[in-house]
Every structure is written in structure tokens, then in C-alpha cells.
Amino acid sequence: MTSSDRRLIDRRTLDWVTLDVGETIIDETRAWRTWAELLAVPFLTLAAALGAVIERDDVHQSAFDLVDRADWRSRIAEFEVRYGAFRRDDLYPDALRAMAGLKAAGFRVAVAGNQPASRTAELRRLGIDAELVVMSDELRLAKPDLAFYRRLLELLGDPAPERVAYVGDRVDNDVLPARVAGLRAVWVRRGPWGVIQSLPDRSAADLVVGSLDELARRLAGPAHE
């Protein structure tokens, strides 16, 4: 992982900041730990398998095949009971702080990710105070489908796409399709995808940050920073 670059987005050119959920505001470690326990696989082994499938551009579900647990789908209901709702300590520590900083600086903030519909209410309960919180299952559209981003813009009230930043941890699901849809793309380099993936070229993202604290600093900080 290389350190983030030093580019800035001129905040006068941006109105909305929309955040992804998994590994952007929510740390998914507990989900993977729950799966490891349920399937009786050492957590480190499952985590390494996830890294391997990310490196080969495969879907994360293939990590279960790699550890010889191809029958994981029959355990989904059991997983959901064990994992339950998002908890306060699933939030990355900077999530609420960064969103508050962005709002204080005058940005409008939204949250939209590939998640079950129930996550919207769970995030609200955890204090996620955004003008829009919406999940892929509610939209019946999921990233990287460009229709997800088009519907997101509609829900934001049809702002010019370039006045909306989409912030996510994945190059394939977040950065590249958001850019194609005309939004500004911010890559947050944390979590398995954020560490392992790479940009096709430096200009593929409008901004690269290591955390949401850094995002808030770069977007909401003094213009000369």
C-alpha cells in the first residue's frame, strides 16, 4: 500500500459527498470473524483467502471455496442471527466525526452502499445523520451497475454529477463506475480491497485518502492546505 497522494478537490466545485458503507464507514472485520467461527475456519486463514481472491479480481464469495466451505450459502440465515445488526463498534472511529466535519463545512452528506435494506435503519440508529441513507436492496440496483449511480443522483435531486463525490474503498465497484457515471471519485484506502487493489492510472480517482478523517481535512480544511 502506498501512501495517499496530496491532491485536493476544490470544495467550491462540490456540493454532495456520498459515502459507501462496507469498509468506508463500517469495519467488516466482525462479519468475517463471524463467518470464520460459523464455518470452523481459522480467522487468519479466511482473511488470507479473501486477500487472495481480491488479488485475482474474483468475487469475495470465492474465498469460501478456497477454504473448502462451498456450502456456506446454506448457513446464511445462521450467519445473520449471529452477526445481527450493525453495532456502534462496527463503525470506523472516524465515520461520525468526519461526516460532522463535512457538514459543518457546508457539504451535503449521503450514504449509499451495496447492503441489505435493513442497514438503513441500523445506520440511522448508530447516529449516521445524512440527508439520504439508502442501500442497494432498497433500490434493487447494485454497484458497479451505472444505474445505481444514476438512481442515486435522482434521489439527491438531480445535481450535476460532477458536483457529487462518491467515496468508497473499492476501485472496481466504487471509483471506476462512479467516474463513468460522471461523479467525482474518492478512493479511501482501507479494508482488504483498499489495501490490495490499485488504480489503472493515477488519474482514475479524483482524490485518494487513507481515512475519512483525511477526507474531511482535505475537503473541509483550509483552502490552502
Q: Applying CB under 5 A, which residues contact Mg ion?
A: 20, 22-23, 169
Orientation angle between helical segments 212-220 and 95-104, nearest 10 degrees:
10
DSSP for 44-67, please give it.
Answer: HHHHHHHHHHHHTT--TTHHHHHT
> Residue 85 Cβ, how far from Mg ion at the closest point, in Å?
18
CB of 90 or CB of 169, closer to Mg ion: 169
Give the nearest residue (CB) to Mg ion.
Answer: 22
The SS3 call for residue 26 is: strand
Give the number of C-alpha atoms closer than 13 A to the C-alpha of residue 223, restricted to the C-beta side.
4
CB of 59 or CB of 223, closer to Mg ion: 59
> Residue 150 Cβ, how far from Mg ion at the closest point, in Å?
19
> Residue 74 Cβ, how far from Mg ion at the closest point, in Å?
26
Strand order, beta sheet including 108-113: 132-135, 108-113, 16-19, 164-168, 184-188, 207-209
The SS3 call for residue 208 is: strand
> Residue 25 Cβ, how far from Mg ion at the closest point, in Å?
9
CB of 122 or CB of 169, closer to Mg ion: 169
**In angstroms, rounded to a whole number, what is the distance separating the alpha carbons of residues 136 and 115?**
6
> Residue 178 Cβ, how far from Mg ion at the closest point, in Å?
12
Beta-strand runs (E) in the chain:
16-19, 108-113, 132-135, 164-168, 184-188, 207-209
Please report, for residues 66, 68, 77, 174, 223, the alpha-carbon distance to residue 24 in angstroms, rounded to integers and kept in the order given.
26, 29, 25, 11, 24
CB of 101 or CB of 192, closer to Mg ion: 192
Strands 207-209 and 132-135: unpaired
CB 169 within 8 A of CB 22: yes
CB of 11 or CB of 137, closer to Mg ion: 137
CB of 23 or CB of 90, closer to Mg ion: 23
> Residue 224 Cβ, how far from Mg ion at the closest point, in Å?
31
